[in-house]
Chains A and B, each alone.
Chain A
């Protein structure tokens, strides 16, 4: 109860640091979601519609990677971008950019896996009907995407949800640096470690509020398109 009150007080006090953290969180989640969808949706569509030899192996691999522990993804990206690592020269460690990279590693398999099974499930009659009408390949793909857009949209939202709620990977590669790479989840972790449990919970409530607003906005936009 106390936490809820604290959450709203915090929001409406327009605390500069809180809004900066929310800004970093949104920026990171937006870019990681966008990039993993740009990579993952076409691959998912391909995996869902095409038949080829290595398909079942690739599907198993994707499904395994969907369960990749965030900490492992974080460590992987950390070793790539550490000072003496292969990409150390880029000086990206402890930046928002590298957090986005770690999240893309984490989220892209989820986007591929979910979108491929959605498309596989819903596109068979679309493909047959389109084929019966002798439509071009590009028109068929367009129809598959447009017919499955509600479910593809929920894939995008799951990706966003995962991204905004993730803490293990971004904490390792981002470093939770104040005014730079601190996001809502790492801030919550920090407050928990400080023993300020009710304040941490208040931050958690704000995070949930943000997620709710984004979901509501997104479904509002999609409904608009339908009409």
Chain B
């Protein structure tokens, strides 16, 4: 039932960017993730798909060591996560921070540099230039000095992406970057993802909108507590496997193949 990735791809002579083996997480009695095992290829966009409460955000947080797991191993480029932090970029859910914080867009992007600065160094002119560049890449250069609460939801999301770019990572985790954004932002984000892919970076995205999965992702991970399917999109994103992942809820799901509301991903 668990499909281990087949090493057919020509590029897989290098170590996998992310390899997860037997990861399990439980809150109290209830298992949230059970025995999750998969390995992603370098330079791919991977969508993580599953119903609400399937453990998608939990998977990201557990992989990043933000919540304790009860078993399993997470390797980033062949080494434990702790040793590879600088290779990883993370975009949390937009609702997870307080946008009333007294700071501006440029400053938020600069936070992406903190991981590279060590304990005592402050961001310098070079970091600032890089941050401005990242803001420009997401089309937000004009908003650098804007207080973050005055940005629209889509603009806030783009600032978060710019911050991830500033992290200058090789492997990115993005938790619902498309949730509640406008069409322009969605387009900007997907262009950016394609660009990252061209640079040989690997991006793992928690995604909700089933209608766009085939257009956006090279591989998908179907998740519902356990891995229900993993592999190239055209082979894995099938009616049968989706039915399996979403259970009886698929009938309801067919009708709602539009972008879900921004609160959908909460409570995982």
Q: Say if A and B assemble together.
A: no
Which A residues are within 8 Å of any B CB, using their own CB? none
Which B residues are within 8 Å of any A CB, using their own CB? none
